[in-house]
Amino acid sequence: MADRDRAVPGDVPGKPHSPRTQSSTLDFVPAGGAVWGIARHEFSMGSRSPVFWAALAVCGTLVFRECLPDGTTASLAAYRIDKWSAMILSFITLFWMASVASRDTWIHTEDILFAKPQTTEVLVLGRFLGNLGLMLAILVDEIIVGAFAHIAFAGTPPVVLAYYHAFWRGALPVFVMASVGYSFSLIFATPVAGMVAAVYYLAVLGGRDYISRIFNFSLTQNAPIFLPLAVALLAVSLIVYKRDRRTRCAPLSLSLVILAGAFLSVRSAVGIAGTSHDEPMFRNPMLEAMGSQSLQPDMRCPGFTLPNQKGRWTGLRDFPGDMFVIGLWSPEAPVSVQVLDTLKQIDEMFGNQGVRSIGICIGEEHSTARDFGSENGDRFPMLTDIGARASIDLQQSSPLAMAFGVAYLPKLVITDRQRIVRFITNSVASEAVIPQVEALVKGIPVQP
Amino acid sequence: MQIVIDHLVKTYEGGIRALDGVQMQIGDGVFGLLGPNGSGKTTLMRIIATLLEPTSGAVSIDGNDVRRRQSDVRKLLGYLPQEFGLYPSLTAWEFLDYMALLYNVEDTRQRERIVNESLERTNLTHLRDRKVGTFSGGMKQRLGIAQAILNSPKLLIVDEPTSGLDPEERIRIRSLLAELGGDRVIILSTHIVADIEAVADSIGVLHLGKVKFQGTHEELLRSIAGKTWQIEVEREELRQIKEKLQITGVFRSIGGVEIRVVAASSELGGSLPHIRARQVEPTLEDAYIHLMGGSAVG
């Protein structure tokens, strides 16, 4: 690939047609040092902006308020940070990156920059990284503030892993929004183009009951789709930007780019719909079958097969002859998270007596069960209800919720060793549940 | 270094022809590109700086075609556009460091050295830690030059560098350009004749996208040798004279107004037989206005 020449005082290349100075219209050899140097300057420049400090203050304040305790655990506090990050920081990122991409047009620096020999790739990438770094700094600020609020007011110890998970979950929508805002503004030379993504995201957030989850890029299960798309978008915008503004090539037809983008989106949609239950897009026969069951006292417990925290598909049939304590919960119902403590306690007390605790998270975000489980050191299976989607009516939120008749969360179900439902409760208090388990272990009947 | 401009044409969308078959050869030293606003100077500068595609024709810099070897050309040149912005929140030093990265200078110490050199040459060392947003017009212009000379360019293009500056800053910029002009080509585009007079070794005059003159000061002055006059007139006579002769300057005098005109003595005698005219040494401004047929003075 092409070498990069250095132009310094006394060392200006003056030999034409030297192989060392061959140039190409698309030279994808980024210069590491220059990329980081530009990123550093961009970071420094942005960090002096009052807009940045205002965003930092607004995000910090909102998260502080959100993380004040009302029975909040560290995991829940971290989850709420992400929620705010996806809601607020994503939009801030979009506006910020869209402005950065059009900044040179506004302040007339394009001619100065483009007359320089540095490749456009390095310039674009350095700027993107520097400003993405600023937005991630706001995310870190949110996490620190959230952690502080939790530690100071809840009085429970911090769980570093929870904040680590919060960072990566929060970084996903920030990265996607950064890429979209930056790319669209580069391509169309106006920050307004970047704002199109804001309309899209508002529609996704506002219409979650009706729009397929696949379109929500802030959900980590959609990361395999949206991360490559975001990177691809950056690459496409770079090519278009470079060809339009800096080389002798004719402007690349934007319709080609739009076609490519549409193709990738459809392909992504089909891909994810094939691996999950996403009603507007796809119906999963297995989940349909789950939904057709019904939870009844003294009847056989509805069966299910769902991925556990390690991604392994797990169901009741994997534990023949065990008693089950099944706790359904969701981070959207903060009180329900306390059921995890009860499940943990039962697992520790009765795990060696053939009692199996199973947690099932009913929520749009598929990483929640895994993250909460690892953050709390839970050893029992923590399953993700992959059929769950946002719905005001909990029973409609997933086939499993329908089968278990979930009107409130948490819902705790105890079966005997024949999987017959013996006890159902919405209580999170371990003292209300443990005596029932103890009785069933001893073979004493309990009132359902 | 040799810059060859060959039958250069640039037609913008809407059919506006900014350059119409421009041919020029520019060698070492300061080359002054003169012309009224809208004559095509900036278009020509931007084509040479690889920022604009010509419609037809070619420009080569030391054998490098600006269309085909953009990257090589950019390594040779420093460019100060007519209108430019700077990142207001960066200090002068940071801004130049950023620009040095765009010249592919990745080594930190090397970058530090060339940035310091540029600051020193443009007399900005004492302002290195000051934010660019607080700079005056003249300081900004000097910083613009500083970024353009970071790579010790063999070709420095400066487009209207003194426009809008106060007289003191204008002189400072001129002397800076004169200093820099030693061993490189500087193309100084301006509509201010005094800038050219002060620093340019050779001149090109553009008008409506065409080259009206290319040569030295002396050659341009020679075109009006013995034809420049200074005349004291009454204010009331000014309109009448303007219709008959080409006025290149008007000055206030005790009795009324003194004007400079370019005309052959026979022409002068025929037009204003009763007026006493004093022959004076021609200036570049006289020659320029004469060349432009009065259009340069509107």
Q: Kindly report, residue by residue over B266-288, the tens digit of the pLDDT.
A: 777 666 666 777 888 888 888 88
Q: Which pLDDT band holds residue A273 (cuts at 50, 70, 90)?
A: low
Q: How far is B110 from chain A (nearest CA, A)?
A: 8
Both B200 and B232 in one domain: the answer is no
Tell me, yes or no, whether B56 lies in a domain: yes
More confident: A109 or A254: A109
More confident: B43 or A20: B43
Both B18 and B64 in one domain: the answer is yes
Query: A383 — phi, psi (to 5°)?
Result: -100, 150
Cβ-Cβ contacts under 8 Å, B101 against chain A: 34, 37-38, 41, 118, 126
Both B162 and B46 in one domain: the answer is yes
Q: Looking at the complex, does the CB of residue A20 fall below 8 Å from at least one CB of chain B?
A: no
A280-284, B28-32, B228-232: lowest mean pLDDT where? A280-284
Both B251 and B191 in one domain: the answer is no
In the predicted model, what is the mean pLDDT of residues A396-406?
87
Per-residue pLDDT, A148: 86
Q: How far is B142 from chain A (nearest CA, A)?
A: 14
Range of the domain at B33: 3-218
In the predicted model, what is the mean pLDDT of residues A98-109?
90
Tell me, yes or no, whether B286 lies in a domain: no
Tell me, yes or no, whether B51 lies in a domain: yes
Arithmetic mean of pLDDT over chain B: 88
More confident: A209 or B121: B121
Cβ-Cβ contacts under 8 Å, B144 against chain A: 112
CB nearest to A116's CB, from B84, B88, B103: B103
In the predicted model, what is the mean pLDDT of residues A268-292?
71
Both B156 and B133 in one domain: the answer is yes
Per-residue pLDDT, B276: 74
A11-15, A310-314, B65-69, B249-253: lowest mean pLDDT where? A11-15
Q: How far is B181 from chain A (nearest CA, A)?
A: 15
| E-state strands within B123-225 | 155-159, 185-190, 202-207, 210-216
Residue A252 pLDDT exceeds 80: no
Query: B135 — phi, psi (to 5°)?
Result: -75, 150
Residue A24 pLDDT exceeds 80: no
Q: Looking at the complex, does the CB of residue A105 fall below 8 Å from at least one CB of chain B?
A: no
Q: How far is A131 from chain B (nearest CA, A)?
A: 15
Tell me, yes or no, whether B289 lies in a domain: no
Rounded CA-CA distance A249/A446 in Å is 79
Query: Chain A to chain B, count of Cβ pairs less than 8 Å apart?
Result: 137
The count of domains in chain B is 2
Q: Which pLDDT band holds residue B206 (cuts at 50, 70, 90)?
A: very high
In the predicted model, what is the mean pLDDT of residues B182-190?
88
In the predicted model, what is the mean pLDDT of residues A240-268?
64
In the predicted model, what is the mean pLDDT of residues B115-135?
94
Residue A338 pLDDT exceeds 60: yes
CB nearest to B90's CB, from A10, A23, A45: A45
Both B73 and B201 in one domain: the answer is yes
Both B71 and B189 in one domain: the answer is yes
Residue A23 pLDDT exceeds 70: no
Both B231 and B84 in one domain: the answer is no
Identify the CATH number of the domain in which residue B56 sits: 3.40.50.300
For residue range A425-442, what is the model confidence (pLDDT) as tens digits? 888 787 888 888 888 888
Both B267 and B174 in one domain: the answer is no
Subunit contact A109:B74, Cβ cutoff 8 A? no
Per-residue pLDDT, A209: 76
In the predicted model, what is the mean pLDDT of residues A80-104?
90
Subunit contact A112:B81, Cβ cutoff 8 A? yes
Q: What percent of chain A has pLDDT over 90?
A: 33
Q: Which H/E stretch holds residue B141?
A: helix B137-148
Select the residue from A102, A116, A119, A131 to test the B interface by mutation, using most B Cβ atoms within 10 A: A116
Q: How far is A5 from chain B (nearest CA, A)?
A: 7
Subunit contact A13:B74, Cβ cutoff 8 A? no
Q: B32 - beta bridge partners?
A: B188, B203
For residue range A147-198, what is the model confidence (pLDDT) as tens digits? 888 888 877 777 889 999 999 999 999 999 999 999 999 888 888 888 888 8
Structural domains of chain A sorted by starting position, each given as residue range(s) with its CATH number in brackets: 27-273 (no CATH), 287-441 (3.40.30.10)
Q: Which residues contact A116 (CB under 8 A, 6 or more apart)?
A: B74, B99, B102, B103
CB nearest to B72's CB, from A4, A13, A41: A13
Both B81 and B200 in one domain: the answer is yes
Tell me, yes or no, whether B183 lies in a domain: yes
Tell me, yes or no, whether B245 lies in a domain: yes
Tell me, yes or no, whether B246 lies in a domain: yes
Both B187 and B241 in one domain: the answer is no
Per-residue pLDDT, B293: 78
